[in-house]
């Protein structure tokens, strides 16, 4: 029996109050923020209700049962033997990244990132008091890859840390073990600390092998921390809980020095939701099956209706990275799709300058939502605005106010840093 039922947009909008469903007027299809349109796994719902009925809403001071729960999942899925003593908790993956960088990077130090990449990476490095050094992904005929030569140059130039996205957001790129082992050797050679964001790993597609970075780093003599959560794989972002997993004894001792408040600010509801989520593997597998089916559907729809779009299909997660430079919609293509086609996508430029001309689309929705989104964009492309036509003037909807169906949209509305 299928565990996932993708409901229509209008039905979900009436039930949910998150950014995805409130940021835009109701006639806009929200395919920007990385939230699933699927209902939560029943065991997670039951656990959260049980915790509320028990008035169990106090503070957290350690990973507790989450460490072995994640360890069991990691061992079964990836053959990764996680030491429970090496697991800490934080409010979310972004907080985990910042707090780890604060421990390993001096003020004004350098952190390497690989754009186009999850937009808040740039902000998180700044928040940690460091400076970004960009080493863009290599774009090839078959997709993208880490630039190992570029990474070595950046490491040799004095980088203190490398913020790795594994799998890579927005491309859905799953770095292979050989590439990651090479990164680990470079990090060991140049003394670069690696923080690996592996939040999308549970959503790796069938037939693709995900490789955790920290075991490879340990074997190479590099120091690393993995930051992850059940929040992406099981749609739990708002429950606020993430794991920091040290890859070696030095890094474990480092995490032991984290301020007590890092754990205290974690949601106890999020911790319990994460614990049960890592055992809901049937729900996860069903979700991935739906996502892969939507990936195939999107590919078919684009070939039939928008053949100028270049789509390198993802190997993990539910994010589609689309090159729309060939659509002929001009420099403001993303805004035209938002204002005129009424489809909210992520603007690729926010992922780094290398993302200009691209958009990111959310596949974790009903097939009908994808069909409607592509049809709307196809109609826009078939009837482009006259040369020099202005994008409709935006109108800001007051906080808490209901947006009318034809309301204007802030130009930066889909650029939010929460769009993980």
CB burial of 105-140 (b: ≥16 within 10 Å; e: otherwise) equals beeebbbbbbbbbbbbbbebbebbebebbbbbbeee
Instruction: Return the SS3 of 228.
Output: strand
**Could you give the CA distance from residue 195 to residue 97 in angstroms, rounded to a whole number?**
7
Bridge-based pairing state of the strands 224-228 and 131-134 = unpaired
Q: How confident is the model at residue 67, as a pLDDT?
A: 98
**Could you give the CA distance from residue 243 to residue 229 in angstroms, rounded to a whole number?**
6
Q: Kind and range of the H or E element at 18?
A: none
Q: How confident is the model at residue 370, as a pLDDT?
A: 97
CB burial of 215-250 (b: ≥16 within 10 Å; e: otherwise) equals bbbbebebbbbbbbbbbbbbbbbebbbbbbbbbbee
Q: Measuring CA to CA, which residue among 262, 224, 235, 250 is closest to residue 88?
A: 262
Q: Measuring CA to CA, which residue among 232, 259, 288 is closest to residue 100?
A: 259
Q: How confident is the model at residue 419, as a pLDDT?
A: 53
Pair 232, 317: CB distance under 8 Å: yes
Residue 405 CA: distances (Å) to CA of 27, 380, 395: 5, 19, 13
CB burial of 19-49 (b: ≥16 within 10 Å; e: otherwise) equals bbbbbbbbebbbbbbbbbbbbbbeebeebbe
Q: How confident is the model at residue 142, as a pLDDT?
A: 77
Instruction: Return the SS3 of 311.
Output: strand
The pTM score is 0.92
Q: Measuring CA to CA, which residue among 371, 388, 389 is closest to residue 379?
A: 371
- Give one word for 352, left, alpha or beta, with left for phi > 0 and alpha for psi -120 to 50: left
Q: Measuring CA to CA, which residue among 32, 24, 127 is closest to residue 416?
A: 32
According to CATH, what is the number of the domain 9-40+282-382?
A: 3.90.1150.10
Angle between helix 177-190 and 213-220 (nearest 10): 50
Pair 73, 122: CB distance under 8 Å: no
- List CB contacts of 283: < 8 A, sequence separation 6 or more: 3, 4, 41, 234
Please state the domain extents for the chain. Answer: 9-40+282-382, 44-277
Dmax over Cα atoms in the chain, in whole Å?
63
Instruction: Return the SS3 of 1.
Output: coil
Pair 346, 414: CB distance under 8 Å: yes
Instruction: Return the SS3 of 110.
Output: strand
- List CB contacts of 43: < 8 A, sequence separation 6 or more: 276, 279, 280
Q: What is the pLDDT along the chain (420 residues), one digit of tens a residue?
A: 457 777 788 889 989 999 999 999 999 999 999 999 999 999 999 999 999 999 999 999 999 999 999 999 999 999 999 999 999 999 999 999 999 999 999 999 999 999 999 999 999 999 999 999 999 999 887 789 999 999 999 999 999 999 999 999 999 999 999 999 999 999 999 999 999 999 999 999 999 999 999 999 999 999 999 999 999 999 999 999 999 999 999 999 999 999 999 999 999 999 999 999 999 999 999 999 999 999 999 999 999 999 999 999 999 999 999 999 999 999 999 999 999 999 999 999 999 999 999 999 999 999 999 999 999 999 999 985 654 554 443 333 333 334 433 345 554 455 444 556
Q: Measuring CA to CA, which residue among 208, 364, 226 is closest to residue 283?
A: 364
Q: Measuring CA to CA, which residue among 208, 181, 192, 204 is closest to residue 152?
A: 192
9-40+282-382 against 44-277: fold identical? no
Q: What CATH architecture applies to the domain 44-277? A: 3-Layer(aba) Sandwich (3.40)
Structure tokens at 172: 């859905």
Q: How confident is the model at residue 6, as a pLDDT?
A: 76
């Amino acid at each position: 029996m299928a565990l996932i039922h993708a409901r229509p947009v209008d039905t979900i909008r009436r039930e949910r109050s998150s950014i995805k469903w409130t940021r835009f007027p109701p006639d806009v299809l929200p395919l920007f923020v990385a939230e699933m349109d699927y209902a939560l796994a029943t065991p997670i719902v039951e656990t959260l209700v049980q915790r509320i009925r028990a008035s169990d809403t106090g503070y957290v001071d350690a990973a507790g049962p989450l460490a072995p729960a994640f360890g069991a999942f990691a061992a079964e899925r990836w053959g990764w033997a996680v030491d429970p003593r090496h697991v800490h908790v934080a409010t979310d993956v972004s907080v985990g990244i910042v707090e780890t960088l604060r421990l390993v990077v001096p003020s004004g130090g350098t952190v390497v990132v690989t754009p186009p990449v999850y937009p808040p990476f740039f902000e998180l490095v700044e928040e940690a008091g460091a400076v970004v050094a960009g080493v863009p992904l290599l774009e090839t005929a078959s997709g993208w890859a880490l630039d190992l030569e570029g990474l070595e140059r950046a490491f040799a130039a004095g980088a203190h840390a490398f913020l790795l996205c594994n799998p890579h957001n927005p491309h859905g790129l799953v770095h292979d073990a050989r590439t990651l082992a090479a990164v680990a050797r470079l990090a060991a050679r140049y003394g670069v600390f690696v923080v690996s964001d592996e939040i999308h790993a549970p959503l790796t597609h069938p037939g693709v092998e995900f490789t955790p970075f920290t075991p490879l780093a340990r074997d190479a003599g590099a120091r690393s921390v993995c930051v992850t959560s059940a929040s992406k794989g099981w749609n739990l972002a708002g429950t606020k809980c993430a794991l920091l997993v040290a890859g070696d004894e030095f890094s474990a001792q480092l995490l032991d020095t984290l301020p007590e408040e890092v754990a205290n600010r974690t949601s106890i509801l999020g911790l319990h939701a994460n614990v049960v989520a890592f055992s809901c593997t049937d729900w996860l597998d069903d979700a991935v099956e739906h996502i892969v089916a939507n990936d195939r559907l999107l590919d078919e729809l684009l070939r039939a209706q928008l053949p100028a779009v270049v789509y390198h299909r993802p190997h993990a997660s539910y994010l589609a990275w689309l090159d729309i430079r060939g659509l002929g919609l001009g420099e403001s293509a993303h805004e035209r799709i938002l204002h005129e086609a009424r489809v909210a996508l992520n603007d690729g430029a926010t992922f780094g300058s290398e993302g200009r001309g691209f958009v990111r689309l959310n596949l974790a929705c009903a097939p009908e939502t994808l069909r409607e989104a592509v049809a709307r964009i196809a109609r826009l492309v078939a009837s482009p605005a006259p040369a020099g036509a202005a994008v409709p003037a935006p109108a800001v909807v007051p906080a808490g106010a209901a947006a009318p169906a034809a309301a204007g949209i802030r130009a930066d509305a889909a650029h939010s840093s929460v769009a993980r």
